[in-house]
Structure 1
């Protein structure tokens, strides 16, 4: 059992703990069902404690620092009355898990699917996701990545403005709703990752300063006060966030955490926060007997993020590979030169992203006006997560457009193949598998009018140079949120059904071609052809050789293929009539190409072959 702040319920008794090292006194105010006040006892480390009998689950409570006003518990595990209401006692042992057979999945097996709970279904709840899990599993998706679910103000938010890191958003279904979703996922062989935010806390309902020095003026972050991980009183802050990670793994059976913007966590301690977190999670992983993953979002382009602490790294199991997205987008869309000018060198940046990971590895970056990055050539591919879309890349466009709106059908198929057949961990953004066309816009439901005005103003400033096409949608309007809800019913209609079949076919091929060995650098050979073609050549695995040809050029290309003495059988060709936007025919059965040395690849297309030794199949 892990030790947690807040309310720890067991067998009719509840132990309340709160960290407030500079306070002289702390009163527990039990509001309902039986109102009473209880004096708490301080210890030498700055914590106040009290154990109270006859406290049933569902009891609502506040703390009163130094005998002042009722203040919600910043370690509250449930806020059913929103961010200013009373905190709620949760009995975690009351939930009966059915996932005893679940042993987790390794990073190299994952196909991630990022979703926002509030807009994934019209209901916007955890329970409403469960009926759709079978469809996701049938597509080949085996890991959900939930955008943050920590309690935020109101009912509409991306989740990065959470102010109760231990409390599950009440409008999504609260703690039991999340447990039901995780349990249902595990019963279908689906892992669950959770996005958590440790670099800042949201503005509305933020009561942390009422208790302790959780923030510092020593550093600045773009979204609010910097969290205090290395100044005076930082020990309690570090414990709070490390325990938060363990809380999700222990009480909710979460399989992995994606940590938001780790480069905005500042820590000069001898043992960095990320090292301490990694070590704590590793111990818990050994205890529960299944992998528990930590994946970083990082703007550092540094291999130390996924390097072991013993080698002076942070020890993350993986990190998002933005460079891959930028290089791919620059080939697919005309505005790539404006958005990602450092990645517009033709096919070379994408080839480097496939072969090494980071594209900018100490090069001068025009966007940053300085040299940036270090080489990741020795880092295996299962340490990187690649994508064509995510919440940031879609939601931080003025109109929230997805690639399905920006690209034609041929380029959409190319984009999907580029990530799903890469020797990396792929991630789809909700609805991407069937080319959903709904926007994903930025939305909030703060109640403070001054704060709302600041959000509107900040949004315009952030999107500044992209506002030529008009003003962004009002983040506070409910209509902005409603426009972002997926149109799940369109999965079986027209070109959406074609794209869904395309993703299923690609993921079938991925299971066949991308083996654990594929993630080792050099096992998958990366070659270029023409001015805009990538060849991925997987040599001689147990499943045979395989060849993926990605032609980003609007012109056909003739390719001299490797693998002397092999017979090549075509498995997939995006130019076939069955894969067109308006389906005009069926799909060909796999066709042997004999031992041809040259293969013609259609314009803006992808072709996949399997190679067999002479006399083989």
Structure 2
């Protein structure tokens, strides 16, 4: 679908699924030359045009003379309302030929928003930061959605052109260069895609076909038609979109946004069909290194869902959908509520050490038990699912940005609690995700922001944001999501990593990620029975002991089955002392016991006989 350009023949093939249109004309170039598209019985309109060049503009002309962008446009250089442009995606392939991708259990994901990751807000500027992430130990970079949206300031979830790369970020060439640079440093790239809705401005898909349904409703607008009349071609449109990013841009994995809002009651769920298509194109279990090429290495689908449904990641022959990963929330919620005491909304199901232990060692806090928030049972058992199938965090764009004032965890808890949280995250049995700036304790907020061209839509967004928080913040207004200053205030201050306490936090992240690599990445940990508020677990050649309370605890090493060991990391050292010790590679022999201060975490490296 869309326009496929061949640089050798200078010819482009155009294909549009538009069953609602009896006739479409293709208009190309500044001269606005018109070509009649041939319609088949399935509603596809096609034509070939010779003598084309990359960047050449084109539009689709309807029976009533309206000029519309291609619903599968590769690029919208003049915005979502303007004409589409030809892109030679073949030029992007295999630019880094010696790339060996990390396996899923090796992933340490760094989530970033291109627009606020740097003052420039572009792929080119983000590329300059990739070496420091690779040096830190990041193995996969996840970027929030880049599908074209209205204006220049948006999280990306208001995208309306699923195949087009946002122009202000750097367009298709910018994304291709970003992927190439990440691969050159040995890092995978995860792209966030949205298949549950489209944004409110510049959404022209309904002009061409029955892409939407009124049988369901999402919190963000019309639901996609995945199971109604004529849904076969709608499903094909989004399956091709997933393959497009993986093939044309060499993306390693896709994060599927809010799959619980992908409504499909058919016998073969869309998510299962999507995974089958990816497996057919790339293989599902090829070894990396020798024998695996860049085009045939496995690609991963990671689903975000709050349903605690392990079927997402169970094999298809075990009754599951066969996806590679589940972006799960319970670990975040358990840590957040334990540290902050917040109990509103879905936080009502959390708050104690019992919930933290379940999230830490069983992935889900609720796996069929009663949810006070939902007032019903929730979830199912993840037993038997490998730990590498779960992606967890202590903060992400949603958990920060959906707060009224966009506070990061570093602003909500004490320094000791922050180090406690990050220590649990990086020694957990799951795939860890860091939100940009987290690695040095960024304190600048990450706000919700938009930049629509429709004034009525802007005002509706303002009022909706006010209503969302009115119950909790009586008389206090949230930051204006439309104001450019709200966006600018969300840009990272990378310089904070070069001074204390950011420098010390960065060193703690670096050392814990080193330990994580040495102990096998995402892997099952062996829980050690100790009295609360301490939780302890063996991770390869290491034992982690965490005091989950504010009072100091003396822990005998024999209580955790340790005879001989030395301290590799302890979270409670003063910032300067911690930075000095870790940078010098100094370790301290552990005596018969360890005094764990409030919220203290110690990682013991086992010696012989340990």
TM over 0.5: yes
1:307 aligns with 2:302: no
1:604 aligns with 2:610: no
Task: Give the aligned partner of residue 118 of structure 1.
Answer: 115
How far apart are the structure 1 equivalents of 2:563 and 2:444?
A: 45
Aligned CA distance change for structure 1 residues 223 and 606 (closer, same or farther; 3 Å): same
**Superposition map of 1:205-354 within 5 A:** 205-286=202-283, 288-336=295-343, 340-344=347-351, 346-354=352-360
Offset at residue 378 of structure 1 (A)? 2.1
Q: Point out the more displaced range, 280-289 or 433-442.
A: 280-289
What TM-score results when the alignment is normalised by the length of structure 2?
0.94
1:376 aligns with 2:382: yes
Task: Give the aligned partner of residue 482 of structure 1.
Answer: 488
Task: Give the aligned partner of residue 15 of structure 1.
Answer: 13
Offset at residue 173 of structure 1 (A)? 0.2
Aligned CA distance change for structure 1 residues 468 and 585 (closer, same or farther; 3 Å): farther
Task: Give the aligned partner of residue 396 of structure 2.
Answer: 390
1:54 aligns with 2:55: no
How far apart are the structure 2 equivalents of 1:193 and 1:527?
A: 37
Aligned CA distance change for structure 1 residues 85 and 301 (closer, same or farther; 3 Å): same
How far apart are the structure 2 equivalents of 1:338 and 1:100?
A: 48
Note if contact 1:29-1:61 (Cα within 8 Å) is conserved in structure 2. yes
How far apart are the structure 2 equivalents of 1:548 and 1:137?
A: 25
- Name the Cα RMSD after superposition: 2.1
Note if contact 1:578-1:585 (Cα within 8 Å) is conserved in structure 2. no
Q: How many residues align?
A: 598
Aligned CA distance change for structure 1 residues 102 and 63 (closer, same or farther; 3 Å): same
Task: Give the aligned partner of residue 558 of structure 1.
Answer: 554
Task: Give the aligned partner of residue 549 of structure 1.
Answer: 545
Task: Give the aligned partner of residue 288 of structure 2.
Answer: none
How far apart are the structure 1 equivalents of 2:87 and 2:68?
A: 18
Q: Point out the more displaced range, 55-64 or 194-203.
A: 55-64
Note if contact 1:156-1:445 (Cα within 8 Å) is conserved in structure 2. yes
Q: Point out the more displaced range, 198-207 or 403-412.
A: 403-412
What TM-score results when the alignment is normalised by the length of structure 1?
0.93
Cα deviation 1:18-63 (Å, max 9, x = unaligned): 0012321111111x24421111101122101001111211111111
How far apart are the structure 2 equivalents of 1:469 and 1:186?
A: 49
Offset at residue 373 of structure 1 (A)? 1.0
Aligned CA distance change for structure 1 residues 578 and 485 (closer, same or farther; 3 Å): closer
Note if contact 1:216-1:227 (Cα within 8 Å) is conserved in structure 2. yes
How far apart are the structure 1 equivalents of 2:549 and 2:602?
A: 14
Q: Point out the more displaced range, 480-489 or 331-340.
A: 331-340
Offset at residue 579 of structure 1 (A)? 5.6
1:422 aligns with 2:428: yes
Offset at residue 565 of structure 1 (A)? 6.9
1:535 aligns with 2:536: yes
Aligned CA distance change for structure 1 residues 585 and 107 (closer, same or farther; 3 Å): closer
Offset at residue 528 of structure 1 (A)? 4.7
How far apart are the structure 1 equivalents of 2:402 and 2:93?
A: 40
Note if contact 1:92-1:251 (Cα within 8 Å) is conserved in structure 2. yes
3-state DSSP of counterpart to 1:332: helix
1:94 aligns with 2:98: no
Offset at residue 142 of structure 1 (A)? 1.3
**Superposition map of 1:497-536 within 5 A:** 497-513=503-519, 515=520, 519-520=523-524, 523-525=525-527, 527-530=529-532, 532-536=533-537
Offset at residue 330 of structure 1 (A)? 1.3
Note if contact 1:27-1:38 (Cα within 8 Å) is conserved in structure 2. yes
